[in-house]
Amino acid sequence: MELRNLGRSGLRVSLVGLGCNNFGMRLDANQTADVVNAALDAGITLFDTADMYGGRGDSERFLGKALGAKRSEIVLASKFGMAMDDEGIKIGAARRYIMQAVEDSLSRLGTDWIDLYQLHQFDPLTPIDETLRALDDLIRDGKVRYVGSSNLPAWRSTEAEFIARELGTNKFISCQEEWNVLNRAIEQDVVPMMETYGLGMLPYFPLASGLLTGKYKKDSMPEGARLTDMPRFANRGYVTEANFAKVERLENFANQRGHSVLELAFSWLAAQKVTGSVIAGATKPEQIKSNVAAANWKMTAEELAEIDELLA
């Protein structure tokens, strides 16, 4: 497994990471352990979860239990900031909440530290300097090693960069954003911003919620799959006539070169300069092997340019 530095930091992560959003939602504790063990065997070192995954806490609980003594061998990433209750109290990025949220996550994960602690969404009620100071204190206390963000617009990340410089606090080292060959909106501003400030990308939904696996066809949607059974993913805008046509073109392009469209999806992201690790979820151990193998296609500049033309 290839290891990469995440942005300009010294944190090294596996090129393929495991997204743990299925734990506690689609997988029970035993099924989670099977997937985690398969990931460890495949050389995956980055495990990405969040406090609100799995029904507010179960993903962290199941992951911590599954890792056990191997926790020190991996890079453990989690997130805070989205609602953890229905009263609007356990949410946001204020110092008071962050200090409690990290303790709760550490307890659920069964660990003394989190390698990458990420702000899950922008908090309009809290100044970013308060958030950065609190996160800096967590690093100084040894409870967190690095900090990152997720789902922030480019100008908010730029603001955080300059305020961290002004305050002398630790800065965000990474961004986690929705990015795949079918959804390239962040290339307009987020990606150039990351290149400028040396941030590492952790793209999620690399397979466009499954559309880039090759198993979905315009007139044949398999039962039991994410886009079929979970409308909130289908409603993200992937299931369109235009995207089915794009996938068909991409599939032909990949097949002509002895690859699958799934391999194209992973390898296209791996070829992007800002990418640190491609985060993908899995519900079965065999999916882990497919995901890891999919990133082995080393795309040339010519191939990347051809893909751009296919999608134009």
Residue 231 has pLDDT above 60, yes or no: no
In the chain, the domains with their CATH numbers are: 3-209+261-298 (3.20.20.100)
Q: What is the 3-state secondary structure (H, E, C) of 110-162?
A: CCCCEEEEEECCCCCCCCHHHHHHHHHHHHHHCCEEEEEEECCCHHHHHHHHH
Residue 278 has pLDDT above 70, yes or no: yes
pLDDT level of residue 84 (50, 70, 90 thresholds):
very high
Longest dimension (CA), the chain: 56
Is 301 exposed, middle or buried (CB count within 10 Å of its CB: 0-12, 13-18, 19+)?
exposed
Between 222 and 108, where is the model more confident?
108
pLDDT for res 226: 53
pLDDT for res 287: 94
Helix (H) or strand (E) holding 18: strand 16-19
Active site residues: 53
pLDDT for res 31: 97
